Amino acid sequence: MLKAERHKYIMTKLVEEQKVVTTDLALALDLSEDTIRRDLNELDSKKLLEKVYGGAVQVKEKSADVFDIHISGEEEKKQIVTKALSLLHDDQVIIMSGGSTNLVFAKLIPSDLKATIYTYSLPIAMQLSQHPNIDLIFIGGKMQKNAMVTIGMDVIQVVSKIKADICFIGASSINIKQGLTEVGYEVSMVKKAMIEASDKVVSMFSSNKLNTKMPHVVCDLNQLDTIVTNL
């Protein structure tokens, strides 16, 4: 198969599934994983996809207005997070991680809910700042610009002192053996602190993240009380 044909196949799979896995592509195309990695590197250099550990994901569209955040697959994510709204109750103390699914969740929190919400995600803090009955605490620290979340020991120290009823934690990847895993080490450490600080742990994510893995472990599956997806 010519390189142009391989690239076309990869981009088609990416549009269909929002991500591609190196081992799956190698098997489907009957090629070595090294060849697939070179193809992904080349497509990444052309900004046609974003190479990540074990494969690649779609390039996130950036809005010219930082307050108008593009969310890919927003309708699907609304279907997922709507299932979790029943977990919310008045007077809860809540921690929310970053991520587009949690951002959609923040948009759908009922306007009459009275709760305290901690977050280190700037987009989620911006969204919740419009909520009439939420006491919002934004956890400051070093900003990870691509995800617009704060990271580092300052964040971990604040989170470790919170006594939360529930946390809503985003997932980059999840599988039976490794559990919940993350692309970045620093984000994985903040999420570990979230779990330790919370009585109940909820993770919401699209089903295409099932049976995938990233390099940094957040927690085992038995540390998650509730998983919400679109199956």
pLDDT band for 15, please (50, 70, 90 cuts): confident
Lowest mean pLDDT among 8-17, 82-91, 99-108, 201-210: 8-17
3-58 under CATH 1.10.8.420, yes or no? no
Taking only the tens place, the pLDDT of each residue in 88-139 is: 999 999 999 999 999 999 999 999 999 999 999 999 999 999 899 999 999 9
Among 8-17, 80-89, 148-157, the minimum mean pLDDT is found in 8-17
Inform me whether the pLDDT recorded for 87 exceeds 60.
Answer: yes
Locate the domains of the chain by residue range: 3-58, 74-228
For domain 74-228, the CATH architecture is 3-Layer(aba) Sandwich (3.40)
With b for 16 or more beta-carbon neighbours within 10 A and e for fewer, the 158-180 pattern comes to bbeebebbbbbbbbbbbeeebbb
Asked if residue 72 has pLDDT above 90, the reply is no
Q: Which residue has the tokens 């919740």?
A: 128
Instruction: Give me the percent of the chain exceeding a pLDDT of 90.
Output: 71
